[in-house]
Amino acid sequence: MIAISSDHAGYPLKEALRHYLEACGVEYRDCGAYDTNSVDYPLQAKKACDLVVSGECEKAILCCGTGIGMSMAANKIKGIRAACCTDYFSVKFTRLHNDANVLCLGARVIGAGSAEELVNVFLNTPFEGGRHQRRVDQVMALENE
Ligand code: RB5
């Protein structure tokens, strides 16, 4: 189960990705926005990230104008490792090396076709573990400082 969420700016991209997940047969929880009325991205980030932290969803995809506000908000939530990406290599390696559990995308930065490819690699690339596990553990320990 994948959580998806957006603010008003990310709504068109979130909708495109919702249809993409449906076409791929991926189950999702849609945390809104449900239209282009203004809604604040920190609140929308929290809705989806809470589902990841509780274990109800394996990962989340967050869309705002740039992807940056969503990633800032998401990374304040304990248990979240959010990456704001615009390219295939970064998405692939944030899964392989950082075990990112949240992907943030900018609806005003990339098109839906590119975003679909990024979501595909985000959902299908495993964490490499090994030496990267130690580093991920160090990242997560920063939450308690
Ligand atoms: C909304 O106008 C915009 O600021 C928001 O979607 C996002 O880009 C913030 O980082």
What tokens appear for 139 in the block? 């990242």
pLDDT digits (tens, 9 = 90+) for 27-73: 999 999 999 999 999 999 999 999 999 999 999 999 999 999 999 99
Task: Tell me the average pLDDT across 92-96.
Answer: 98
Candidate from 64, 72, 104 with most ligand 1 atoms within 8 A of CB, to mutate: 64
Domain-by-domain residue ranges, the chain? 2-144
In the reported structure, the alpha carbon of residue 128 is separated from the centroid of ligand 1 by a whole-number distance in angstroms of 32
Task: Tell me the average pLDDT across 6-15.
Answer: 98
What was the pLDDT predicted at 113?
98
Q: Which residue has the tokens 């809705």?
A: 47
What was the pLDDT predicted at 24?
98
Please state the atom number of ligand 1 nearest to the C-alpha of residue 64.
Answer: 6
Report the pocket of ligand 1 as residue ranges, CB < 6 Å: 7, 9-10, 41, 64-66, 68-69
What was the pLDDT predicted at 49?
99
The whole-angstrom separation of Cα 25 and Cα 13 is: 18
- Using 50, 70 and 90 to split pLDDT, how confident is the model at 21? very high
- The CATH number corresponding to 2-144 among 1.20.1250.20, 3.40.50.720, 3.40.1400.10, 3.40.640.10 equals 3.40.1400.10
Q: What is the residue with the minimal CA distance to atom 3 of ligand 1?
A: 65
HSE value, Cβ hemisphere, 13 Å, CA-based, for 63:
31
The whole-angstrom separation of Cα 61 and Cα 118 is: 10
Average pLDDT of the chain to the nearest whole number: 98
What was the pLDDT predicted at 5?
99
pLDDT digits (tens, 9 = 90+) for 109-141: 999 999 999 999 999 999 999 999 999 999 999
Q: Is 97 a catalytic residue?
A: yes
Please pick, among 31, 63, 64, 104, the residue that the annotation labels catalytic.
Answer: 64
What was the pLDDT predicted at 100?
99
The whole-angstrom separation of Cα 42 and Cα 36 is: 16
Q: At what angle do helices 88-96 and 112-124 cross, to 10 degrees?
A: 20
